Structure 1
């Protein structure tokens, strides 16, 4: 099997995923759509066609496309990708105070289920619009997704706790390693998770790991910590196409199949895998549960 562009390695994942598994965090870059004039990342194409190759390699069935910072609040590429992938995909958009109600309704119809604040690499609205925009999307049933560096979460905790929407935290909380669970960000995010409306994305394990590839031992400890804290409110994602590695010649491109195998192993039981790969994403993003899951629920 040939690899999809922007993923190291060529072998398929060894792990067998449950039916209907969802990659809950990836991006699409398509140079048919203009990047924001101030974008500092302008990667080459990582298109829907490329991503479908990755799906085949990993054995996933569905996915969540996250608007990248490179497009700002122009969600045209996102909507085009959602139209191409149909009901197998949902989206997370980037908006600002100028986004109209009509635009929000159109995004909802296209499959968008949340908005993202990228506070680590700003694009679209900043943190000063957090409450305003959360209020605008709450009645759509959307969530607010936040990508911040771990050091910033203790100061953000009170604001995030007061949002009128569910909250999704990117990339394990970006908590500095090593010994992430001793960092103040772990305690702040745990308090949010324990309130019952915050979800953690098990993704981006390469971002903050000190141990690094191929085993990401410190990242695995953090993943197991989050699964132990709230197995019903964690979801998994690839973070493909790993744009920070694409744009930085000093960084190695992650091997998505190898990392998926690690995540699969960090989940201790078949029940955890079913929840994290399938059931939790269905709840958070509104996917139809697979027939097998529906039968089990009955």
Structure 2
């Protein structure tokens, strides 16, 4: 069963008074079910969007609606989370925590909190999902080497167009992946593309293919639905077609869509 390993769910029922960040309409579970039908996917990993801060109720509820056999989640936490809260999230289908540190504006915690939180969730078998810039990956290489938890690097490790796979971050992440400690998400091509949707994000293809060639057994794919950053939104089936272009063969595509996410997120194989 194919897995979309990176989406966000927005549901007004879980907003708190005073939440001022941008809310996305028509991005609840019912809307995503239609996307699944279009793509032919049956599994999904839901990442708590920043409008909810460190309240992960919307993600846990979405997992409940979609069913534990078909959904997992990635939470956003701060250091005062209790062991009981972690246990509740674990039973609710959460399997990782995200550190969105590529810009301070979107950060719920700082780099100083990565290691202590990683140590706590490692005991549950969770991973830490890192949305960092390539430069931050290089700057914090020593921290990455110390982390006890598995790592998942968001959006192709955000390698810049100017360097692509020649950037030092590529080798750092590849070494971690080769050691069985890291995974990379092939997602969000629009975040770094200058070519844009009309040109099929063609400038992202070389670095995506570099990851496929280097560590196909450590890759997962995500649509990044509902594409919050984009005014001109891509079709999700189109994004899945891009994976065909990046992989070039059915066996690798099957590994990235089925086998790898089953291993990473604990789905039945």
SS of aligned partner of 2:140: helix
Q: Distance in 2 between matches of 1:31 and 1:123?
A: 22
Query: What CA RMSD, in Å, does the superposition of the two structures yield over aligned residues?
Result: 1.6
- Choose from 37, 58, 69 the match for 1:77: 58
- Choose from 156, 161, 184 the match for 2:145: 161
CA contact (8 A) 2:7 2:45 kept: yes
In structure 2, relative to structure 1, the CA distance for the partners of 1:180 and 1:38 (3 Å cut) is: farther
**Partner in structure 1 of residue 190 of structure 2:** 206
- Choose from 190, 193, 202 the match for 1:217: 202
**Partner in structure 2 of residue 141 of structure 1:** 125
Q: CA deviation at 1:177?
A: 1.0
CA contact (8 A) 1:70 1:123 kept: no
Structure of higher RCO (CA pairs closer than 8 Å, 6+ residues apart): 1
Q: Which moved more, 1:40-49 or 1:60-69?
A: 40-49
Q: Distance in 1 between matches of 2:10 and 2:160?
A: 28
CA contact (8 A) 2:174 2:215 kept: no
Q: CA deviation at 1:101?
A: 0.5
**Partner in structure 1 of residue 30 of structure 2:** 49
TM-score by length of 1: 0.85
Q: Distance in 1 between matches of 2:112 and 2:16?
A: 24
CA contact (8 A) 1:30 1:46 kept: yes
In structure 2, relative to structure 1, the CA distance for the partners of 1:39 and 1:157 (3 Å cut) is: farther
Q: CA deviation at 1:267?
A: 1.2
* Runs of 5+ consecutive residues of structure 1 not aligned to the other structure: 1-19, 246-250, 290-298
* Runs of 5+ consecutive residues of structure 2 not aligned to the other structure: none
Q: Distance in 1 between matches of 2:23 and 2:254?
A: 36
- Choose from 40, 48, 60 the match for 1:59: 40
In structure 2, relative to structure 1, the CA distance for the partners of 1:196 and 1:117 (3 Å cut) is: same
Q: CA deviation at 1:239?
A: 0.3
What is the number of residues matched between the two proteins?
265
Q: CA deviation at 1:182?
A: 2.5
CA contact (8 A) 2:63 2:73 kept: yes
Mapping 1:1-298, distance limit 5 Å: 20-34=1-15, 37=18, 40-86=21-67, 87-121=69-103, 122-213=106-197, 214-245=199-230, 251-289=231-269
Q: Distance in 1 between matches of 2:205 and 2:217?
A: 18
Q: Distance in 2 between matches of 1:175 and 1:36?
A: 37
Q: Distance in 2 between matches of 1:92 and 1:36?
A: 24
Q: Distance in 2 between matches of 1:55 and 1:233?
A: 23
Q: CA deviation at 1:183?
A: 2.5
